[in-house]
Structure 1
Amino acid sequence: MARKLSAAAVAGVVASIAAPASAAADFAALNEVLVADYLLPRYEALAEAGSVLEAALRQDCGAGTLAADTSIAAYHRMADAWMAVQHLRFGPSELFLRADRIQFWPDKRGIIDRHLGRLLTVADPAALDPQRFGQGSVAVQGLPALERLFFAPPEGADPAFACDVAVAIGANLKNIASGLLADWREGPAPYAAVIRSAAEGNAAYMDAREASLQFAKALRAALVATTDLKLDRPLSTSAKAVKPRRAESWRSARSLRNIRINIESAEALYRGDGQGGFAALLRRQAGGAEVDRNIAAAFAQARTRLEALPDSLQAALDQPDGWQRLDDLRSDLRGLLALLSGPFSQTLDLPLGFNSFDGD
């Protein structure tokens, strides 16, 4: 399990953020909180979800059933855990195409359908060898391919081999998730230690502020991905122009569930899971209290809108005022993104720039 801060340590970290101190000490304390109480627990949850998914698929496929309730529930648990870290595109996530292998999306050219169809048609057991599978097409290795097998299985596929493919995907996701966690907290140079030692300078970061900037960019990335990819692409510019099948995870009817988790995780990153995150640091700066109030209000407004919507974007669009409600959510999130890119960035002197989701 991740090293949770003791009560005394938490008090010390929060005090270091709440009391006058140098900017370097502020950022170092912030990084410690975010690593210990935000990042590591979420990667632990991802690794645990991967193990549960792999075990469920082996058990259900061993009994001859691909889309059994246990496997479906495990799929949703894995997807939930991934949505909570989807925006953390730095460090171990950048290695070995891990993020794309977990979720190859958006797939604008239909690569998943083609590659998955070819895999099922050829039905070569050797292609499912763990090493070969993990080094093959990223399009068939992760959650989108598994979603298709569960909720929109290709016609003509041999059910037994489709089950074998699902088991291979489950094992692959388990390996990727466990590898991510191991690289963050284990070995001679775990990435958590790299961030914690940023104050002294290291090969990855010049100082603690640069490491904090990495987290701030991830915070912005969560909002960019939500507005530009998860809402703009399916909603378009009017109710008559919607393209609901551009939505993320539309086959499993969880497009808005994904967004709900994205926003919850982004807000937790901003607040530091209650242990003194960016919000506390922001309030210490001149004019920062007002910026924090505006950001908190924007998050609250987005949460309220999401709580009133179903998990499925299509189900929301089927409601008489569905498109307008989703467009209002999109506007709220754009306003929140403007607060992060403007007053938040300027007050903390953290230039956010671009990230991996810009321009997708």
Structure 2
Amino acid sequence: MRLGLFLPISLLCITIAAGPAAAQEGGAPMLSALDKTALPGVMAKAVDGFIIPGYRNLSRATASLAATSAALCAEPSEAALQASRSAFAEVVQTWSQIEIIRLGPALEQNRFERFLFYPDRKSTGLKQVQAILAKSDESATDVERLRAKSVAVQGLGALEYVLHGKGADGLAGKGAGFRCRYGHAIAGNLEAIAGELRAAWEKPDGIQAAWKAPGPDNPLFRDNKEAATELLGVLIHSVEMVKDQRLRTFYAGTISGKPGKDNPKLAIYWRSNQTMPSISANFRGLQTFFETSGMQQLLPADSRSIAASVKFLLKTLTSAADRIDGPIDAALGDDERRAVLGFIALNTADLLDRLNRDFGGAIGLGAGFSFADGD
């Protein structure tokens, strides 16, 4: 990898981000009004073009994972183990695109935390998973009984440890029956949750109906401003999540290049080397959500440049994340890849400001309003 490929892009990102902000005098938001006629169509395209297809993809990926884990348990082999690990990676990347929809059905019945318990700062979940494996707790091999246990032992983090943690290579042999059955139960649980999420959004008179028709009788969005706030909030809270919960947990670098203390083992999916593929998928999901929904249509004509720069930043961040492969501790120890991480951190913060201040301000949500602070 050549660092020179990134420096001009970084400067270009900074220049683009500074453009519309410079048009604001004294920090006052650029004024414009939300295009209310465009909003219902944008909301509908977000549902039909991104959310429902995203959950359908997740449902297919988890079904494949459940099938490969069943095959591994039936006939253990190195090939079967690698197939299960590949299916796990596919679920991680599929989930990482749709996990930006952290609302509605995803929050009901703790579905989000049951699918992915992260961050696990005190290793509480890890200890619980290790205890299940040490005790060969058979109740964890039944999907229904597993669902009643801690959220930390039934999702992607738990399955990653089963497939990639200490002792995981034994899954290729005949002596790993319990570990494999536990992993298969987790896969079945993930498939069930994905199916529930898909069904909730596919229901014609359910949440999709509320998204498509804001109004005084709508249980979620009484007016267009509330609907626009939710729509833009998906982007802002997701970018904030990547910045604070994904990058900052393991990368301690600064823009000046003076690193603090890195924590590679706090990185999400570090055991399976899916840290950066998942972050890339987060950015790709945001890019697809933004473009598929046609959010630029909410902007007045004189502010459309904001949408162009948001698209550019998302595409550039996705490409940058794709260039960091392998173990995350190795990337942190490599000057060139570390510089790319710094580039991603810098421009993720820039993107957050672009969405929160510039886009929000342009559609009338900027004055005294901060998505990032939850106001």
Whichever residue aligns with residue 334 of structure 2, its letter is Q
Partner of 1:98: 111
Whichever residue aligns with residue 187 of structure 2, its letter is G
Q: Of the candidates 209, 221, 242, which is equivalent to residue 193 of structure 1?
A: 209
Which deviates more, 81-90 or 194-203?
Answer: 194-203
**Is 1:211 aligned to residue 211 of structure 2?**
no
Which deviates more, 197-206 or 130-139?
Answer: 197-206
**Is 1:46 aligned to residue 61 of structure 2?**
no
2:126, 2:249 → 1: CA distance? Answer: 19
2:355, 2:140 → 1: CA distance? Answer: 45
Partner of 1:173: 190
The CA deviation string for residues 167-200 of structure 1, in whole angstroms up to 9 with x for no partner, is: 110110000000000111127x421122113246
**Is 1:269 aligned to residue 289 of structure 2?**
yes
Q: Of the candidates 332, 343, 350, which is equivalent to residue 317 of structure 1?
A: 332
Partner of 1:299: 314
Instruction: Indicate how the Cα distance of structure 1 residues 127 and 308 shifts in structure 2: closer, same or farther if over 3 A, else same.
Output: closer
**Is 1:109 aligned to residue 126 of structure 2?**
no
Q: Of the candidates 56, 68, 91, which is equivalent to residue 68 of structure 2?
A: 56
Instruction: Indicate how the Cα distance of structure 1 residues 354 and 213 shifts in structure 2: closer, same or farther if over 3 A, else same.
Output: closer
2:180, 2:319 → 1: CA distance? Answer: 40
2:118, 2:156 → 1: CA distance? Answer: 10
The Cα shift of 1:306 comes to 2.5
Q: Specify which structure has the bigger relative contact order, considering alpha-carbon pairs within 8 angstroms and separated by 6 or more residues.
A: 2
The CA deviation string for residues 320-355 of structure 1, in whole angstroms up to 9 with x for no partner, is: 333222112110111111100101011012467457
Kept after mapping to 1: 8 A contact 2:55/2:194: yes
The Cα shift of 1:154 comes to 5.3
Partner of 1:342: 357
The Cα shift of 1:312 comes to 4.1
The Cα shift of 1:43 comes to 0.7
Q: Which runs of 5+ in 2 are unaligned?
A: 1-32
Kept after mapping to 2: 8 A contact 1:128/1:165: yes
The Cα shift of 1:77 comes to 1.2
Which deviates more, 165-174 or 291-300?
Answer: 291-300
Partner of 1:225: 241
Partner of 1:235: 251
Partner of 2:87: 74
The CA deviation string for residues 74-115 of structure 1, in whole angstroms up to 9 with x for no partner, is: 111111111011121111001111111111000001112211
Kept after mapping to 1: 8 A contact 2:34/2:298: no
Classify the secondary structure of the residue corresponding to 1:41: helix
1:321, 1:64 → 2: CA distance? Answer: 40
Partner of 1:247: 267
1:207, 1:240 → 2: CA distance? Answer: 46
The CA deviation string for residues 8-53 of structure 1, in whole angstroms up to 9 with x for no partner, is: xxxxxxxxxxxxx983321111101111111111011011111111
2:59, 2:71 → 1: CA distance? Answer: 19
Classify the secondary structure of the residue corresponding to 1:290: helix
The Cα shift of 1:140 comes to 0.8
1:51, 1:73 → 2: CA distance? Answer: 13
Which deviates more, 315-324 or 115-124?
Answer: 315-324
Classify the secondary structure of the residue corresponding to 1:249: coil
Percent identical among aligned pairs is 23
**Is 1:33 aligned to residue 49 of structure 2?**
no
How many corresponding residue pairs?
Answer: 331
Q: Of the candidates 72, 84, 99, which is equivalent to residue 97 of structure 2?
A: 84
The CA deviation string for residues 202-221 of structure 1, in whole angstroms up to 9 with x for no partner, is: 11221244223212111112
1:113, 1:22 → 2: CA distance? Answer: 46
1:355, 1:312 → 2: CA distance? Answer: 31
Which deviates more, 32-41 or 229-238?
Answer: 229-238
The Cα shift of 1:240 comes to 5.3
Partner of 1:133: 146
The CA deviation string for residues 287-341 of structure 1, in whole angstroms up to 9 with x for no partner, is: 3123223323322432342343225433322323332221121101111111001
The Cα shift of 1:124 comes to 3.0
1:94, 1:145 → 2: CA distance? Answer: 20
**Is 1:153 aligned to residue 170 of structure 2?**
no
Instruction: Indicate how the Cα distance of structure 1 residues 124 and 302 shifts in structure 2: closer, same or farther if over 3 A, else same.
Output: closer
Whichever residue aligns with residue 210 of structure 2, its letter is V
1:153, 1:247 → 2: CA distance? Answer: 17
Kept after mapping to 2: 8 A contact 1:83/1:258: yes
Kept after mapping to 2: 8 A contact 1:239/1:323: no
2:327, 2:239 → 1: CA distance? Answer: 19
Whichever residue aligns with residue 286 of structure 2, its letter is A
Kept after mapping to 2: 8 A contact 1:185/1:193: no
Which deviates more, 307-316 or 343-352?
Answer: 307-316
Q: Of the candidates 337, 340, 348, which is equivalent to residue 333 of structure 1?
A: 348
Q: Which runs of 5+ in 1 are unaligned?
A: 1-20
Kept after mapping to 1: 8 A contact 2:281/2:318: no
